């Protein structure tokens, strides 16, 4: 038979990025259509959402990635308590119907997920809040929520916290009215509340090598070449093996030997790349930046290239002595 459903719905929007326990807003008002004096049962329980990262949670420095987060509802009914004893066939039918419908208290509706980090975290969240739909007890969200994140290029290896906040509606109470046991019809009013849950997820930044140029020795006179020593330090937290410095000077500088082999560099250690660089005779005397790329192998055997570094190289003006006897150098 056709059931006449009258729904009284109150939705309150609440999104919080602060870690904490599940809460219900204090300013929630009971709909006018609700008469607690006609309530047969009080039901105990609530949704309980739990999130996990799908796939690896390990990232590298300067990496942009999409996190796929699965959400499951583990909400359980904790019990019923009789609030009013029904009398007569119609009220008994209404009481049974109310008990059946009250079990939806453990279902989460209109789930909204947001992600945040600590203020000093090297992890940047690049996505806004995501809709996860409704999740019944014992089920997962229809699809994972996706957040784009970016790891700072100077991030230290280690674990970092991500704070996932989940806010949602849930059915707080049900009232049955106009029950007709013979006709098997009734009207229903639902009272909705809001809850918020927070959970900490972990992201790991891998150990890896990193480099910086700490010193450049040597200078070049106009129209001449010279051996320039570029001191490179491994500022990371992993060994770099079979390191090569690839030098790419631009006009007015040039080289016929663009690669230096540096072997292995332990964390905190330095190595010196020696490269012969020539300055054009028309080069303006000043400090030039020479593009330097570091190629290395990880302990696992993967080949990596570091972003271009700048090696400062000075070009000096040729004096009389350099013009007359520069060929002796």
Nearest C-alpha neighbor of 305 from the set 297, 316, 313: 297
Question: What is the CATH number assigned to the segment(s) 36-205?
Answer: 2.60.40.10
DSSP of 135-179: E-TT-B-SS-EEEEEEE-TTPPSEEEEEEEEEEEEEEEEEEEEEE
Question: What is the CATH number assigned to the segment(s) 211-328?
Answer: 2.60.40.10
Q: For 129-162, how does the pLDDT look when each residue is reduced to its tens digit (9 = 90+)?
A: 999 999 999 999 999 999 999 999 889 999 999 9
Q: What is the mean pLDDT of residues 10-23?
A: 32
Is 273 a residue whose pLDDT tops 90? yes
pLDDT score recorded for residue 257: 86
* DSSP bridge partners of 229: 217, 274
Question: Distance between CA 189 and CA 128 in Å, rounded?
Answer: 34
Tokens of 203: 């992201």
> Is the separation of the CB atoms in 308 and 292 below 8 Å?
yes
Sequence ranges of the domains in the chain: 36-205, 211-328
Question: Distance between CA 60 and CA 111 in Å, rounded?
Answer: 31
β-pairing, 185-205 vs 158-180, is antiparallel
Helix, strand, coil: what percent of the chain each, to 5? Answer: 10, 55, 40
Interior angle at CA 247, CA 211 and CA 240, nearest 5: 30
β-pairing, 158-180 vs 219-221, is unpaired
Give the torsion through C-alpha atoms of 303, 307, 308, 312, to 10 deg: -110
Count other C-beta atoms under 10 Å from residue 284's C-beta.
11
Direct distance between the N- and C-terminal alpha carbons of the chain, in angstroms, rounded to an integer: 105
In the predicted model, what is the mean pLDDT of the chain? 85
Nearest C-alpha neighbor of 277 from the set 325, 230, 322: 230
Tokens of 97: 């119907």
Question: Distance between CA 315 and CA 284 in Å, rounded?
Answer: 7
Contacts with 15 (C-beta within 8 Å, 6 or more apart), sequence order: 112, 114, 129, 165, 167, 196
Tokens of 250: 């631009």
β-pairing, 145-151 vs 123-125, is antiparallel
> Is the separation of the CB atoms in 1 and 186 below 8 Å?
no
pLDDT score recorded for residue 35: 59
pLDDT score recorded for residue 37: 52
pLDDT score recorded for residue 275: 94
pLDDT score recorded for residue 21: 34
Half-sphere exposure of residue 109: CA atoms within 13 angstroms, side-chain side? 15
Q: For 31-41, how does the pLDDT look when each residue is reduced to its tens digit (9 = 90+)?
A: 555 555 577 77
β-pairing, 225-234 vs 58-59, is unpaired
Question: Distance between CA 70 and CA 129 in Å, rounded?
Answer: 15
Q: For 96-120, how does the pLDDT look when each residue is reduced to its tens digit (9 = 90+)?
A: 888 889 889 999 999 999 999 999 9
DSSP summary character for residue 84: S
Is 13 a residue whose pLDDT tops 50? no
Do the domains at 36-205 and 211-328 have one common CATH topology?
yes
| pLDDT interval class at 14 (50, 70, 90) | very low
């Amino acid at each position: 038979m056709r059931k006449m459903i009258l729904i009284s719905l109150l939705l309150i929007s609440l999104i919080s990025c602060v870690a904490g326990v599940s809460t219900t807003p204090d300013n929630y008002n009971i709909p006018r259509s609700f008469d607690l004096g006609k309530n047969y049962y009080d039901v105990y329980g609530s949704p309980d959402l739990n999130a996990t990262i799908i796939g690896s949670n390990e990232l590298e420095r300067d990496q942009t990635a999409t996190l796929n987060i699965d959400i499951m509802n583990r909400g359980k009914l904790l019990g019923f308590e009789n609030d009013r004893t029904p009398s007569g066939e119609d009220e008994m039918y209404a009481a049974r119907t109310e008990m059946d419908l009250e079990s939806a208290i453990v279902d989460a509706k209109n789930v909204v997920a947001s992600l945040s980090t600590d203020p000093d975290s090297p992890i940047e969240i690049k996505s806004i809040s995501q809709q996860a739909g409704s999740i019944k007890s014992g089920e997962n969200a229809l699809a994972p929520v996706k957040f784009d994140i970016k790891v700072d290029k100077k991030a230290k290896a280690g674990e970092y916290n991500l704070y996932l906040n989940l806010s949602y509606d849930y059915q707080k109470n049900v009232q049955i009215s106009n029950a007709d046991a013979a006709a098997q019809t009734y009207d229903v009013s639902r009272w909705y509340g809001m809850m918020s849950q927070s959970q900490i997820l972990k992201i790991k930044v891998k150990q890896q090598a990193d480099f910086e140029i700490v010193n450049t020795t040597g200078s070049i006179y106009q129209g001449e070449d010279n051996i320039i020593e570029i001191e490179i330090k491994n500022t990371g937290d992993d060994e770099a093996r079979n390191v090569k410095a690839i030098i790419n000077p631009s006009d007015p500088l040039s080289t016929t030997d663009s690669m230096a082999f540096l072997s292995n560099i332990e964390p905190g250690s330095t190595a010196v790349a020696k490269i012969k660089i020539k300055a054009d005779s028309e080069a303006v005397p000043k400090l030039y930046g020479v593009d330097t790329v570091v190629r290395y192998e990880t302990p696992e055997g993967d080949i990596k290239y570091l972003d271009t570094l700048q090696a400062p190289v000075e070009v000096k003006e040729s004096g009389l002595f350099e013009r007359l006897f520069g060929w002796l150098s």
